[in-house]
Each structure stands twice: as structure tokens, then as C-alpha cells.
Structure 1
């Protein structure tokens, strides 16, 4: 069983601390607690889960398909819904993120460009239509999160290229006032390794290939809007430079809290991993030279000889950061970093599960059963 962590280093020149993981970072275990969800009960059954938050009394489960936030007690009893499907005030259309601004819960709708703030005690809602004012930009900017100071984080809508995919290699993450006035660039997010332009074997034009192993930068926002974490996770190229990924925390003023390089054991991609995708593409419409097209695709994929080291990241409610490694043998290792970016723990979950909300005492995990039905499960952390 591989481990995500071999050592970690300050990003500015310090040597990694090497050695076996077991001697550095304690492996945590999980004790199962409350389970929320049902196969056949419409009150407790869940559709796709877009996010989970928990406070001292309640658990909030975002339901993008249903256009609502479902509220449960911490013991699992249904309390109420916040919002309902629709495009009016207090209604939600394909919401995708939520977090806290003070005592209110915010929910973003990237498609409609709206944010809704809910009073969780009364259910009262305030809906804002958001439009970023970025001079000279050709992008449509979508609301991403609300910071603790009331300003909004926005990211560009990724369009263009073949099949509506982006052809640019880097995008800014910006901060604006609620009225859309630009204040700052909070971070820059790279997509450079995800795309490749293929012209060989195509009757007319070109296509943009999206890698089956996405290695674009990952972004997570603290539930209370106090900071963001950016993970640079380009896969190792097999050279002499150590296999590392980089984690940076940035506060709401744009200042770097920490930057860490974390060394990991690279996992090589099997030689036949891309075969099915290459065969499908070479048999697709518009291909007039199947062999040339397949060869160009294989050259694109051969640059990706190792799996990207990180598959997910989630900021905890207590300043921790939770980083998931590569899927292997039906499991993923999650590495836990403290508020200074130092590894303090690690645990394993099935690849069908992911951590949606966590702190050092507990984590809320989204699990799927054999019928692909989602559940939200609370686990106590045993250290």
C-alpha cells in the first residue's frame, strides 16, 4: 500500500524531511456515527450531494438536482429545507457550493450567476444577481465563494476550444465587491496539463483532447471564508526533480499564510491505461486517418507517465486542510495538514467515498452504496 507522504518541505529551499510515514504522521482511524440518507424514504433520501456543512446543532446537505439545502439535526432527524427549485428569490437552480458568512448560509449558482443567503433559523432568504466588472476581460465570471469580509470570490467560465472546453492554460481567481467591482487577484489557477490540440488524421480542423488524468490546480475555500487553499498537483515527469505537489494557503487579504511542498511516491500509469480512449477517438466522426490520429493521441498521453498525486482537497472547519491521494486498491489516503501546512494525520477511505466537511475531531463523509445511492455519514476521529 503506497502512502501519499514521504516528507514535506518549506517551498523556499528547505530540504524535505524523509523517512517512513509511520514514523512521521500518525494514522488515524474512524469510528462510525450518524448516517443520513435512505433508499426509499422521500424525507430522508438524498440525490447527488453538492456539499456538507455542520455546526454545533445541525447538518446542511446541498442538493444541486433538487434545488435546495436539506437540514438535519446532528442525530440525523430531518429539520427543514432551505430554498426550493426555481429562479425566483430564495429559489435555487443547480447550486454548487455553500459556506458561512457570519450566521448566514450562502449558496452559489454558477449558471444563473446568483448567490442566495439564508437565515438558518427562520429560512428567510436574500438573493443577489452577481456580475463581475473586470475591464478588458472576455470571460463571464461566476460566483465561487463569499469571504469573511463580505467580498466575493469569482472564477471564469471555462469555454472555447473543442466541445466547449478551455484552451487557455491559466486563469485568475479574483476578489470583487458584492456589486462586482474588481478588488484583487487572489490566485492564479493552472490548467496547462489538461489539454492537447490534435490535428493529425482529422479531415477538417482540430480537436482539443482532455486528459483522462486531470492535473489542474485544485481550489478549496474555508467554510467561514477566512482563507483559500490552492494545490498544484502536476504529475511527476520521471526526471531527477523529486515528485512533489505544492499546497498554498492564502488569507482573505491575498497574503500567503504558508506554502509547502509535499513529497510523495509516484505511481506509474499502466501502459494500456489509455487504449480504450484512443480507440474510441480514432473511430469518431471526422477522422480520415485512423492510424495517424491514434499515434498523435498516444504521443499526447505518453507525456503523462505518472498519476497526478492529488485527487481532491477540502478545507476543514478548524483551519485544517484535507488532501486525497491517488485511488489504489479501492482506497484513497487522505493527508491532514494543520493551519501551518504541516502533516498531522492520515486516514484511508474507500474510493467511493469522499470527505465533504471535517475537523480534527470528526469528519462528514459522502458515501455511495452498491445502487449508487448517496449517504452522508459522520465519523469520530480516533487518534
Structure 2
């Protein structure tokens, strides 16, 4: 726990190449570099607002031979030369016309052609007042901030819901469902595009399918697959602890009325979303995690064409961050909630 190098804090992301493992530490604002055998090499960055420093690093990837890190708070990308630690900063100030429920556009990824991808943030109050937010564009711009295109449109379930029942006069609460079935998107480590997952929860009739699409840097669809799955019903009482925690908030004046409103909101979701997480491997594979079941999470692995090539079962405490056909690098937490980066060999 107390080791300044190996005592990891909040691991946001993991990236690998032929020689090294790069661990993004969100709280420390740095990328910690290890050999593939686990020996410490160097740190890249450090918490701060100066050149080469990071405040809220959210994701990373490769642009040619350099490692980029997105920082939403500082609204910029930082590119590191992994050999010597030298850094370059690219400001992110996209000039995009936005609906009034959107607040700003934050950096998400750098594409292989050098263009930047950003995602709008939105106001729950404004969005709810206008009937919810149904689409979230992933915007492509050049390094000067000029808008070029939309890489993808993510379908949302309508955004947060306003709840007033049981609250103090004038008070309101905005809740997003904990079993979200909004579209997912993740960007390829090499900047060659993204994978989008449409994952609407089953409602009790019709086909149970999830749609997976691979998108190129120009927004072109490289493959689109519909994959059937076996729906899993949400057990009775599944949301009890979540509702109980909300009822303890100080602005709740009528617990019974507020509990009824919360149960109505949460229990509208009768089946688990089919996919909870998506990752893209360094070899073009796509990894899709299903819902947790009895302490196990199963990952469906697709090849570069979208065909299924296997399944990997891991404990629910294991989060896949980097992978390919032969190995998976996961973040695991022990009983004391301490994170570890662990490499698993994939054996057919």
C-alpha cells in the first residue's frame, strides 16, 4: 500500500506496446511506465496545469509513435514521447453550434489522421425541461478547433429524470438510471476509429439483440453486426440499497412518497442491459462485457470483421483495459480496495 511506485491509486486506463505497460493514474495526473515484466521505468506527466502536466486525465491512446492523454478539465491533449518524456500540448477548443442543453465539448480521442474527437457535456435541468436528450454527437475537429464532421451519434435513453415527490418544497432531484442502456462508444488504441454498441434492454417481447458497429476515421461503417443474447431479468429487491441511500438525503421530507417515486423509476428496468463495457484490443478485436452474474463477468470477443471468436470469463472485480487474442491486461481490486494491474494469458 505504501510503496510510492507500485502502490497504485485510481487506475483510469492501461495501454501496452511490445515493450512497456502504461498505467494512467487519474488522481496523480501521471502515466506510470513499467516493463512488461512489471519493473518501473519512469513517470510521464504529473498533477498540475503547466506544460506536460495533467489535472483530470480521462483516456489515452497512440498517435503515430507518441502517447496521447485527454484532459477534460484543462481542455487539451498532451502527447508524450515515451522514450524521453518530452511533451507537447494540443489545446482543444472546438467551434461547434450546440443545442442550449449542451454546455461544452470535452476532448475524447486523437484519430490516426490527426483530427480530434470530442463529446458534448449537457445540463440535466435544461435537457429534462425539453423532454430529455436523445442523441449525443461525437464531434470531429482539426487542431485549430474547426468542426469537420460527426464521427457517430450515440442514442440515449432520454437523459436524467426529474423527481420531486417527497422532497422539500421547491426541491428537485435528477436521476440517471444505474442500469443504463445508452449507446456505448470506445476508441481504438491506434486511432483508426471507434466501436459503437447499441444495447437497448429487452422489454419482454421480440428479439433480444445487441448491435455492434466498427467505425473508421471518416465515419464510415467497417462492419455492423447484430448479436443475439439471453436476457437476464433484474431480481426483486435489486435496487433496495440504492433507493435506501437516496432516502437518507437531507432534502427528503416524505420518505414514503419519495420511496414510491424512486421504486417506480428504478423498477421500470425489468431486464439487465446486455453489455456493460466495451474495449478494443490492440489487434483490432472487440471485447464486450455482459452483466455480472454470481461473481463472474463474461466477455464476448469479436475479431476485426465482427465475427465471434470466443468468450473469456473473469471475476467481476477484474476490469479489462488492454487486450488482444493472446493476453488481457486487467485492473483488479483486492479486499482493501487496492488496485493491481494483472496480465492474463489467453489460452484457447
The separation in 1 between residues aligned to 2:221 and 2:332, in whole angstroms, is: 34
**Deviation of 1:300 (Å):** 1.9
TM-superposed deviation, 1:120: 0.9
Task: Give the superposition deviation at 1:382.
Answer: 0.8
1:205 is displaced (CA, Å) by 5.1
Whether 1:253 aligns to 2:215 is no
Is residue 2:310 matched to residue 1:354? Answer: no
Deviation, structure 1 residue 246:
1.3
Shift of 1:136: 4.5
Specify the alignment match of 1:236 in structure 2.
202
Q: Find out whether 1:278 has 2:243 as its counterpart.
A: yes
Instruction: Give the structure 2 partner of residue 221 of structure 1.
Output: 187
* Equivalent of residue 42 in structure 2, options 73, 80, 93: 80
Aligned counterparts, 1:26-65, within 5 A: 39-65=1-27
- 1:243-266: CA deviations, max 9, x gaps? 111111110010011111111111
Give the corresponding residue for 2:121: 157
Rounded to whole Å, the distance in 1 between the matches of 2:173 and 2:269 is: 19
- Which is further off, 372-381 or 285-294? 285-294
Shift of 1:342: 1.1
Which of these residues, 271, 275, 279, is aligned with residue 314 of structure 1? 279
TM-score by length of 2: 0.93
Contact 1:237–1:303 under 8 Å retained in 2: no
Deviation at 1:279, TM superposition (A): 3.9
RMSD: 2.1
Structure 2: distance between partners of 1:282 and 1:91: 40
The DSSP-based 3-state class of the residue aligned with 1:367 is: strand
- Structure 2 distance, partners of 1:210, 1:135, is 26
Question: Which runs of 5 or more residues in structure 2 are unaligned?
Answer: none
Mapping 1:294-373, distance limit 5 Å: 294-373=259-338
Q: Which residue matches 1:33?
A: none
Say if 2:83 is the partner of 1:129. no
Partners of 1:152 and 1:176 within 8 A in 2: yes
Q: Distance in 2 between matches of 1:296 and 1:371?
A: 35
- Equivalent residue for 2:111, pick from 147, 165, 178: 147
- Under a length normalisation based on structure 1, what TM-score does the superposition of the two structures give? 0.85
Post-superposition offset of 1:121? 1.1
| C-alpha displacement of 1:358 | 0.6
C-alpha displacement of 1:201: 3.5
Structure 2 contact 211–227 (Cα < 8 Å) conserved: yes
Matches within 5 A, 1:65-214: 65-138=27-100, 139-161=103-125, 167-192=132-157, 195-202=160-167, 203-204=169-170, 206-214=172-180
Give distance in 2, aligned partners of 1:88 and 1:153: 23
Which piece of structure 1 moves more, 279-288 or 121-130?
279-288
1:147–1:252: 8 Å Cα contact kept in structure 2?
yes
Partner SS, residue 123 of structure 2: coil
Post-superposition, which runs of at least 4 consecutive aligned residues in structure 1 deviate over 6 A? none
Instruction: Name the CA distance, whole Å, in 1 between partners of 2:258 and 2:14.
Output: 43
